Chains A and B, each alone.
Chain A
């Protein structure tokens, strides 16, 4: 019943994330407005999506562009550095901003002040303002000596998802050649550029870059190997991809755990498609991502158990998916899995109840969809759409950070710096909101399509149950209910579930439903 073309797409989407709803190649994303441009009241960059609905907040009146550097610039800079070194980030930030705004654009010390200001802001918890200043240095390309430092600072922030993908990769990194970078930063940039090449369908270029990178044994080499393996899956070269993925999974090198887990997931999917359910299960089980990121894995594990015939484990995994940590997850598939699993152990009434539960849970939304009502403004559907779309989830996360940090601007006492921060955050929030609004319609449509698909499948499950009951000739269960034998003294310990979720148990549930089928 289950097909997996989407699985390959999801894997590819991660590798070349976020592939959806990007502006066309060469176009400058709307968020590419630099802080300097904001200051100068620049209009949004060309290439902004015409579908953008949110109004652009007008930038404040541009300050008079200084033509000459103030004579005390060096002393002010030294004073700022002194405060920075002593950990007085608030005053250091005020000084660096003062230096920064009073220097002409062509003065190299302006970028230095911008860099030190970013360091102070990051230490004050204003990560998004810091990101803007780092990005300004990288995109400005006026200070080659600061390029490596700025990218070094941006790298962990990007890995912690504090930097918008489009803003950073598409807007700044992709169209730029960098030299003189430290090896790790160079690998990082090369990986992202290679992936973006592939995303823009420049397969030959992207593949060549990644293959070169994959030859070494550095952390980003594994990202490159993974991306190449996913690309092989997209080309239907599953065996070759499985070999590459297995090499990543088995590697003893200190590679990023996220890459190893993505490789496990992709390998699990290949095994599943090849009907090697136990191998797939072994691979899924070895994934050790943080729990909130395991929702998809849980669903796939449940499918795997259904396919392998372990319906009780499949039902248990669905119990795990009800845990509070997954409360925002949009996974209507869980009802379908439950229905199928129960039907396969001839628990027809319970399977029918799963269908009813699905319809009860999604009744309002299904009615809206069938009545062709607008879904974009429905907060529940919006939240599902955001959660289910990686690019939107990332944008939503950035939006949350921006809102939180904007609310914490009281930490900045210096008035000019405070005004500068307000401008950055207002503009960044507007840009982020606009990006979300631009992509939300497609995401909402996907949610609606998914619900309709599951609804149809549930009807099919109901029909098959009716057929099963008809064949059995009776409305009740076929097999006699048996006592459930819980072994004692074995290496397995049975914790009876009483509604309290323990995070280490979520993937270990089993629903001890009796198999009532006559075999």
Chain B
């Protein structure tokens, strides 16, 4: 349970970061000017200063209970590449029993002694946004999207036993710009948490969330 989600997410994030750091274009001395790199240089249609995000998510990784969350975040974008997600929180408002406990009980007459379930996940992250692009929608529209990678410190409140755990989180997100103030976000976050050094154990929580963001400020057009 702990490492499965991590194994999936880390390569994606790493690959994304590596791909983003491309070569700088150089004008070769032997190159002719008409062969020198040509760029379409455009002002961004959508720029974000302060961002408020709200949405819903799911914690799918726990085999016994699937948690449903109400999520939100406050982010300050320093520029189009770097931002600080000042606070991100996901409150688990419902748990869906998968029936595994019952199956274990009925088939094997066993039941887990302690089933820690998350009640709240929170984090504060640096957000790196190396990808920004356009998608042609059925050859009729142009849609602007960006892909971002949050990395930061995280904490979570668990029930049964009731305790706080701390750790880190990292993720992958997609933002779909709806207009200059509104965007839809799809987030995947992996939380690596531990109750403490003395009683070290690693808990992995995967959070998928969809949300709507409202942007204020930035360099308005």
Contact = CB atoms under 8 A, between A and B. Distances in A.
Interface of A: 315-316, 319, 338, 342, 345, 347, 349-351, 353-354, 477, 480-486, 488-497, 502, 504-505, 508-514
A353 B81 contact: no
What bracket does the count of chain B residues touching chain A fall in?
Answer: 20 to 34
30 contacts: A316-B41, A319-B38, A342-B34, A350-B33, A350-B34, A351-B33, A353-B32, A354-B34, A477-B29, A480-B29, A481-B26, A481-B27, A483-B25, A484-B27, A485-B24, A489-B82, A491-B47, A493-B41, A493-B42, A493-B80, A495-B42, A495-B133, A496-B38, A502-B134, A508-B42, A509-B38, A510-B38, A510-B41, A512-B37, A512-B38
Contacts of B79: 489-490
B38 A511 contact: yes
Nearest to A485: B24
B24 A511 contact: no
Contacts of B32: 347, 349-350, 353
B28 interface: yes
A484 B33 CA distance: 13
Contacts of B28: 481
A309 B143 CA distance: 34
Contacts of B25: 483-484, 486, 496, 512
B39 interface: yes
A513 B41 contact: no
Contacts of A494: 39-41
Interface in B1-58: 24-29, 32-34, 36-44, 47
Nearest to A349: B32
A511 B47 contact: no
Tell me which of B39, B42, B80, B134 has the highest count of chain A C-beta atoms within 10 A of its own C-beta.
Answer: B39
B219 interface: yes
Given A350-B32, A350-B33, A493-B132, A508 B41 contact: yes
Given A482-B27, A502-B134, A495 B34 contact: no
A345 B36 CA distance: 13
Interface string B73-84: 000001111100
A492 B45 CA distance: 9
Nearest to A346: B33
Nearest to B31: A481
A508 B78 CA distance: 25
A67 B190 CA distance: 92
B24 A502 contact: no
Nearest to A503: B142
A347 B34 CA distance: 9
Contacts of B78: 489
A50 B105 CA distance: 104
Nearest to B39: A494
A483 B41 CA distance: 18
A312 to B, nearest CB: 9
A514 B27 contact: yes
Contacts of B39: 316, 486, 494-497, 509-510, 512
A357 B44 CA distance: 35
Nearest to A311: B33
Given A491-B44, A493-B41, 17 more contacts: A338-B34, A342-B34, A480-B29, A481-B28, A484-B37, A486-B24, A486-B25, A491-B43, A492-B43, A495-B133, A497-B38, A502-B136, A504-B142, A505-B42, A512-B27, A512-B38, A514-B27
A81 B38 CA distance: 61
A513 B33 contact: yes
A491 B41 contact: no
Given A347-B33, A349-B32, A488-B81, A316 B42 contact: no
A499 to B, nearest CB: 10
Contact of B33 (A483, A496, A497, A511): A511
A495 B136 CA distance: 15
Tell me which of B28, B42, B78, B133 has the highest count of chain A C-beta atoms within 10 A of its own C-beta.
Answer: B42
Contacts of B81: 488-489
A513 B41 CA distance: 14
B42 A492 contact: yes
A483 B40 contact: no
Contacts of B80: 489-491, 493
A482 B28 CA distance: 8
Tell me which of A342, A508, A513 has the highest count of chain B C-beta atoms within 10 A of its own C-beta.
Answer: A513
A298 B80 CA distance: 30
Contacts of A509: 38-41
A359 B82 CA distance: 49
Please give me the 6 A-B residue pairs with the lowest Cβ-Cβ distance, nearest first. A513-B33, A489-B79, A505-B40, A350-B33, A347-B33, A497-B38
A380 to B, nearest CB: 24
Nearest to B82: A489
A434 B197 CA distance: 93
A319 B39 CA distance: 10
A177 B28 CA distance: 69
A513 B32 CA distance: 8
A496 B25 CA distance: 10
Contacts of B33: 315, 342, 345, 347, 350-351, 511, 513-514
Contacts of A484: 24-27, 36-37
Tell me which of B37, B43, B78, B134 has the highest count of chain A C-beta atoms within 10 A of its own C-beta.
Answer: B37
Tell me which of B25, B41, B79, B219 has the highest count of chain A C-beta atoms within 10 A of its own C-beta.
Answer: B41
B26 A492 contact: no
B84 to A, nearest CB: 14
B187 to A, nearest CB: 22
Interface string B106-133: 0000000000000000000000000011
Nearest to B25: A484
Nearest to B36: A513
B83 to A, nearest CB: 10
